[in-house]
Structure 1
Amino acid sequence: MAGSDVTALFGASTAHSPSYFTLTRATGAQAGEIADFCIPCNPYFPTPAMFDRLGAGLREILTYYPSSAETVTAELCRLLGLNPATVAMGNGSTELITWIDHLLVRESLAVPVPTFGRWTDQPMETGKRVDMLLLPEARGFALDPEAFVRFVESRGSRVAVVCNPNNPDGGLLSKPQVLGLLDRLQDLDLVVVDESFLEFADEGQETSVAAEAVLRPNVVVLRSLGKNFGLHGVRFGYLVAHPGLAGLIRGALPKWNLNSFAEAVVFMLREHRHEYAESLRRVRGDRHEMIRYLSHLPGLTVYPSQGNFVYVRLPAGVDGALLRDRLLTEHGVLVRECGNKIGSSSRFVRLVVRPQADVVRLVSAMEQVLYGRTVHTPAPAPQAPRPMLAQVPAGPPGVPAPDLPQAVERPPSAVPQAVERPPAARGLVPAAALAPEPAVPPQQPQPVCPDAAGPPAQAARTGLVRAMTAGYTSGTAAIDRLVSGA
């Protein structure tokens, strides 16, 4: 499909990117031709041998009903050392978020933003007030637990949610910080700690508060198996809570809400625990290397992360939606532009941690689209697509660029073809600025979105302001006026 039609798919959803299957159908790309830096999945698990075993059992998996959720949950609990009375398994963590909202959120919910969209969208869809604390870009989007407690108290919120690590920035609170937060908020109806990405953190197991949650009557810890096991398509996750809370949610879940693929994977895990632990170790190493490579791209700001993704602020003048579109149509690289995340803007992208060969492909593509050439090698031929930045921003002083391995040559058929557009339509600068004027030094290109290159605080607020314009609200008129600048 033509490039402009493919990228139009991103406008069909206000909260998520189009699915991988939608994009491959639209582009005609074959399996593996699109380098996916959008979906936060474990690239090293399941192992090839596990996939072979699942493939061999495909007929039975698709033919027969799964066992009961109780059977699958009991096996998972044996592996994790949990009491089944404290666990509820769902058809993905999103199903559990939905039932948490329906059963346990009565009137209001407080959550720092930007964060996972279902924690803001789900309660608003059911008429709840959502109080959103804007995470400060100046502090690298780090959450101050004391500031969040004061925010919850000042708003009178009855439910609080913290994602640890947070999505999209990967910020992580220590276990003492989380436990202190739970102590301060023990009078609330509910406190949710979403640990969906915690296993990818350097000290993931030591940071979890799942063991403490079962002793607290108002705490739920949420976990995502699809993300950890690299199997988003299976749709399975679980929560850990006091037996009363866990039982309430288990009782509301539909019968056979877990499919046969989920059962097959859970019952394979016991003999593959070593491979799973090794996959997490490799992802953590890849994250450190990926941050190192990205940090040497001039003009980019790369924030510290403990997830299996990295949050990046683009150079001034670059619109993330145009960068996303050109990376996909010109290089077959898919990234998550964050302009539709509340509390973020199109100045930011989230990049999933991938193996080194994929990162080389990403960095090479970003260099070509942003700067028109490889930053530390001679410029490409003149007929290369027009760069998004008129000049290469200065890199960190005194910091040498990493030696990137040579990118793998890709066949022409592997890159979805874009519609040929006039030069002005392919970059970020207006047409008048494209005519060469030798007497005038190159100027920084103007952003497509007027607020995309504003001060950091304004850039961070853009997503929330847009969301409110589209019908989102924090539920409190005074907060909405403050955020929108009215």
Structure 2
Amino acid sequence: MTTLVPGSYPLALNENPYGPLPSVRRALERALASANRYPEFLPDRLPRLIAARIGCSPEQIVVGPGATGVILYILQAFAAPGGARVIMADPTFDGYPLLTATVGGNPVPVPLTAAGAQDLDAMAAAVDERTGVVVLCDPHNPTGTRLHPRELTGFLDRIGSRVNVILDEAYIEFVTPERRIDTLALLAAYPNVIVVRTFSKAFGLAGLRVGYAVAAPGIAARIAHWQVPFGMNILAEVGVQACYAAEDELNQRIHAIVDERDRLSTALRRGGYILPDSSANYIFVPLNDPALTRRISDAFTGAGIQVKQYSTGMRVTVGDPVANEAVVRVAREVVGDFVPAIGQIA
């Protein structure tokens, strides 16, 4: 649970800055009356609910405790045997190298391009006979950059069908529908792709731990083999159903976060920062000078602003307007003569 200290701004974990929607909160409160009962032994209703929503077969859905839990299942299924190599961008979501090592796989980091994009050519070149999984993110975590559909299909054609590809769409709801990849069509054409999504970010249910994978039925069955009995809490299905029922309200919140993201990005650019265009609920600030990095980090810490630090910069979650104003104020105060050190990631 994130510790909220008065006067602090928790902007490190890409959480939705707002609480559950009122209708979702009421549904969860009612469901607490059944907290003395176990959930389903293995999830059945929740996969069916999600499948009906996105338009696929329930046999293609595997749910787990957050995207992290689902990723663990996938890596147990396809990376653990024989210590398979897992190709991933560097940096990426921390869970990928951590969970790969946990299951006995071998993480293979591939640096991002100077523009903060996943280097698909370099990632394809890293694939060999020992590779079990390749991880791609759309939008990418931590930079917020997108995959181009033609580049993605070209990459999938190049590596072939033997290697399973995780397409992590944890932040896809922050992308306008017309700019999203048609993932169901992609799965039909490339059955080695496994799409991972979560209810932690746009839906604001991080504390309930609800994530899911969409995959070809045979692959989904292999992933589901690793599910833990009674592993999904009893509020998961209730929360998801309530969020689906409150689609209009949820979209208003997503639009508000996207508007704040764009406002925050514009303000920082006017202050001298060069940022990749983000399609998620965070921005990435590339920093090439260690002195500048330390100064900004110290200034943020002193102002109670918690961000995620990387060797090449920092990721800042889009918060509410007050939190975002604090970020802009501190960042502009610090930049000074360091502007030339702000720019490319590499």
With normalisation by structure 2, the TM-score equals: 0.88
Q: Secondary structure at the match of 1:161?
A: strand
> Where does residue 393 of structure 1 map in the other structure?
337
CA distance in 1, matches of 2:13, 2:245: 27
> Where does residue 304 of structure 1 map in the other structure?
277
Correspondent of 2:297 among 324, 349, 363: 324
Q: Is the 8 A contact 1:301 1:314 kept in 2?
A: no
Correspondent of 2:192 among 208, 214, 218: 218
> Where does residue 320 of structure 2 map in the other structure?
355
Correspondent of 2:306 among 320, 325, 334: 334
> Where does residue 127 of structure 2 map in the other structure?
152
RMSD of aligned residue pairs (Cα, Å): 2.8
Q: Is the 8 A contact 1:45 1:276 kept in 2?
A: no
1:124 counterpart = 2:101: yes
Q: Is the 8 A contact 1:195 1:208 kept in 2?
A: no
> Where does residue 51 of structure 2 map in the other structure?
77
- The structure with the larger Rg is 1
Correspondent of 1:287 among 241, 248, 261: 261
Correspondent of 1:175 among 122, 144, 149: 149
How many correspondences in the alignment? Answer: 342
Q: 1:60 to 1:319 in 2, by over 3 A?
A: farther
> Where does residue 16 of structure 1 map in the other structure?
none
CA distance in 2, matches of 1:204, 1:98: 31
Q: 1:363 to 1:454 in 2, by over 3 A?
A: closer
Correspondent of 2:38 among 65, 72, 80: 65
> Counterpart of 2:330 in structure 1: which amino acid?
A
CA distance in 1, matches of 2:321, 2:123: 37
Q: Is the 8 A contact 1:35 1:334 kept in 2?
A: yes
1:166 counterpart = 2:140: yes
> Counterpart of 1:152 in structure 2: which amino acid?
V
CA distance in 1, matches of 2:280, 2:103: 30
Correspondent of 1:200 among 158, 166, 174: 174
CA distance in 2, matches of 1:324, 1:61: 45
CA distance in 1, matches of 2:268, 2:34: 42
> Where does residue 110 of structure 2 map in the other structure?
133
Q: Is the 8 A contact 1:159 1:188 kept in 2?
A: no
CA distance in 2, matches of 1:98, 1:214: 24
1:350 Cα deviation (Å)? 0.4
Q: 1:302 to 1:86 in 2, by over 3 A?
A: same
1:243 counterpart = 2:217: yes
CA distance in 2, matches of 1:70, 1:41: 27
List alignment gaps of at least 5 residues for structure 2.
none
Q: 1:189 to 1:304 in 2, by over 3 A?
A: same
List alignment gaps of at least 5 residues for structure 1.
1-18, 339-344, 372-391, 397-452, 461-486
More strand by share: 2
Q: Is the 8 A contact 1:198 1:208 kept in 2?
A: no
> Counterpart of 2:323 in structure 1: which amino acid?
D
With normalisation by structure 1, the TM-score equals: 0.64
Residues 368-413 of structure 1 deviation map (CA, whole Å, 9 limit, x = unaligned) = 4x26xxxxxxxxxxxxxxxxxxxx23879xxxxxxxxxxxxxxxxx
Correspondent of 2:87 among 103, 110, 118: 110
Q: Is the 8 A contact 2:287 2:342 kept in 1?
A: no
Residues 87-112 of structure 1 deviation map (CA, whole Å, 9 limit, x = unaligned) = 10001111111121111124212112
CA distance in 1, matches of 2:89, 2:77: 22
Q: Secondary structure at the match of 1:171?
A: coil
